[in-house]
A and B are shown apart, each in its own frame.
Chain A
Amino acid sequence: MGSIQLVGVRKEFGGVKVINGVDLEIEDGSFTVFVGPSGCGKSTLLRLIAGLEDVTSGQVLIDGLDMTNVGPAKRGLAMVFQSYALYPHMSVRGNIAFALKMAKQPAALIAEKVQKAAGILNLTDYLDRKPRQLSGGQRQRVAIGRAIVREPKAFLFDEPLSNLDAALRVQMRLEIGDLHKKLKTTMVYVTHDQVEAMTMADRIVVLDKGEIAQIGSPLELYNKPNGLFVARFIGSPTMNLVGGPSAAKRGATTLGVRPEHVDLSTTAGEWPAQVTHAEHLGSETFVYAQVEGAGALTIRLSGEAGCKAGDRIFVTPREPRIHLFDDRGRAKAP
């Protein structure tokens, strides 16, 4: 079991509001990702769940029990830190066994559990090494191993892949996904990388300035952002946002359309534009164009498109894929 509930959670650091009243339910066995720009409070929120920070007001419930004033050691959660936070003076074995030793488990059981965790994470050959003798990916696996042996109610990940290079990050992303399928334990994962959020999460919590901007599955957020903030944050390249007559004629202040949801023509269309850059990636082409009176547009075309800088084109947003926002940046029904 491992459901987590936040009720009216607020956190201030010396008068500065960091978390501004968050209500959230995280279901047992789910993979929830907190995502947002830096400074949005996502790491703080995770640390409040862990008990590493005290809430200013509100409640943290784990499996229905009020844990607000319980120390991190007694909450039954495990955390994986961005910096790995391995104990540098202990071997891999010592690192993984530490929590079990603290729980005063018998030596035979500790040895068995360490072996099992090391097996799952391909660390069996490295048990006697010190953290400094390991690569970044191996260190991250040790940090995960340290978390698994405790059989926690939930895993908390605080940007665990930020220190890894791009290729390793993709690999570890898949490994963490596999681990979740295997263990079926609740995971709460913090990242600023929306690709990580989209690929790993069952449910994404988008945070903005200490408040929840939107909660939903990855595709819900992609297809139905509830405001300009989420519209801009989810999706890469970012959504095109256009004001002026095109928005006004549809009864909105801002019109949004994703780069992949427009049609291109050389003869006619809604927005006459001039291509400023074209990026040819082979599998797809990104076209950057300037629309008179509406600003810059990004257009994603699949395959090799024969566009080049200086071309005159016409861009038309696909009607069902248009997002409309009112003057306060909130989504309007089209």
Chain B
Amino acid sequence: MALKQTAGKRIGMTALAWAIGLLIFFPILWTFVTSFKSELDAFAIPPKFLFFHWTTENYFEVQSRSNYLLFAYNSIVLSVGANVVGLLIAVPAAWSMAFAPTKRTKDVLMWMLSTKMMPGVGVLVPIYLLFRDFHLLDNRLGIGFVLLMLNLPILIWMLYTYFKEIPVDILEAARMDGASLANEIIYVLTPMAVPGIASTMLLAIILSWNEAFWTLNLTTSNAAPLTAFIASYSAPEGLFWAKLSAASTLAIAPIVILGWFSQKQLVRGLTFGAVK
């Protein structure tokens, strides 16, 4: 069905799209702008948008008060590490579900999805106690495991949808051509699935990077990622909006840059299966 658009309609739609885009982007923009204000300007009423004394002092102060690099290091290790391990589990799992399904495959998929519907806070106490008893609190391995388990259903689901799109004929042709299962995966499936695997990983890393509930509850300093770094600025001394904003900007900068450069992959990943 062709959509006929008049010029007026098009202008209206464009304006609406920009307005919604700005609305969604505004919190990040505001955080970014605030990070260059003095603490006094930061909570001035009416809010100062552009006309204030721009300063980078917050960034220096944030860095001197806490070690940004340690937090950033933890964020990278946890989000990448957990998802690389997750991928090693998810690829074979998605493979078998997509290409050798059984009667129960759909149920398993739904069951995995259902774990994402449970509010995390419901299991916080038992997990906290388990972590305490196994000395996993504030431990990279411990929190990494939680992040892995949080993302595994998403990894498997996304890879499953990707693999489903790969015609099984091609894999069967490889089998007829004498390829072993390993060769079939290495030479035929993987090259065809690289875009899917990449966008899945990207989304999973972003989700892990921004995960705050478990990282804040199960880590304090050694294994704490950037989410804890941000949270430390809403400390008992009070709220320091400008420093909090500087810390937030620093925390999201790496992932925003990564996301920016890979938006094409990301959009494909988010809409995969819906749009062919």
Contact = CB atoms under 8 A, between A and B. Distances in A.
A81 B173 contact: yes
Interface in A1-27: 14
Contacts of A89: 191-192
Contacts of B172: 52, 72, 79, 81, 85
Contact of A86 (B170, B178, B187, B191): B170
Nearest to A89: B191
B167 interface: yes
A78 interface: yes
Nearest to A103: B178
Interface string B185-226: 001100110000000000000000000000000000000000
A91 interface: no
Interface in B141-180: 167, 169-170, 172-180
A238 B172 CA distance: 36
B178 A14 contact: no
B71 to A, nearest CB: 40
A52 B183 CA distance: 17
B103 interface: yes
A98 B169 contact: no
B169 A88 contact: no
Given A50-B176, A79-B173, A102 B183 contact: yes
Contacts of A67: none
A102 B103 contact: no
Contact of A72 (B167, B175, B187, B192): B175
Contacts of B192: 87-89
Given A99-B178, A102-B179, A103-B178, A81 B103 contact: no
Given A14-B103, A102-B183, A73 B170 contact: no
Nearest to B169: A85
A150 interface: yes
Contacts of A83: 167, 169
Contacts of B188: 87
Nearest to A77: B176
A98 B184 CA distance: 11
A94 to B, nearest CB: 10
Contacts of A102: 177-180, 183
A96 to B, nearest CB: 10
Nearest to B176: A79
Chain B contact residues (Cβ within 8 angstroms of A): what range?
10 to 19
Contacts of A146: 173, 177
Chain B contact residues: helix, strand, loop or mixed:
helix
Given A87-B174, A87-B188, A73 B169 contact: no
A102 to B, nearest CB: 4
A85 B180 contact: no
Choose among B167, B173, B183 the residue with the greatest number of A CB atoms under 10 Å from its CB. Answer: B173
A77 B177 CA distance: 9
A86 B177 CA distance: 11
A71 interface: yes
A87 B178 CA distance: 14
Contacts of B178: 73-74, 99, 102-103, 150
Contact of A99 (B103, B167, B170, B177): B177
A113 to B, nearest CB: 13
B103 A150 contact: no
A169 B178 CA distance: 29
Interface string A60-87: 0000000000011110011101110111
B171 to A, nearest CB: 9
Interface in A90-106: 98-99, 102-103
Contacts of B191: 89
Contacts of A50: 176
Given A14-B103, A52-B172, A79-B173, A85 B179 contact: no
Contact of A98 (B167, B177, B180): B177
A73 B171 CA distance: 12
A50 B174 CA distance: 12
Contacts of A71: 175
Contacts of B187: 98
Contacts of B174: 87, 98
Nearest to B179: A102
A186 to B, nearest CB: 15
A73 B180 CA distance: 7
B176 A73 contact: yes
Contacts of B183: 102
B276 to A, nearest CB: 15
A143 to B, nearest CB: 8
Choose among A73, A78, A83 the residue with the greatest number of B CB atoms under 10 Å from its CB. Answer: A73
Contacts of B169: 81-83, 85
Nearest to B175: A72
Interface string A248-280: 000000000000000000000000000000000
Nearest to A50: B176
14 contacts: A50-B176, A72-B172, A73-B179, A73-B180, A79-B173, A81-B169, A85-B167, A85-B170, A87-B170, A87-B192, A89-B192, A98-B174, A102-B183, A103-B178
Given A87-B173, A146-B177, 17 more contacts: A14-B103, A72-B175, A73-B175, A73-B178, A73-B179, A78-B177, A79-B172, A79-B176, A82-B169, A85-B167, A86-B170, A89-B191, A98-B174, A98-B187, A146-B173, A150-B177, A150-B178
Interface of A: 14, 50, 52, 71-74, 77-79, 81-83, 85-89, 98-99, 102-103, 146, 150
Sort A-B residue pairs by CB-CB distance and give the 3 closest, nearest first: A85-B169, A99-B177, A85-B173
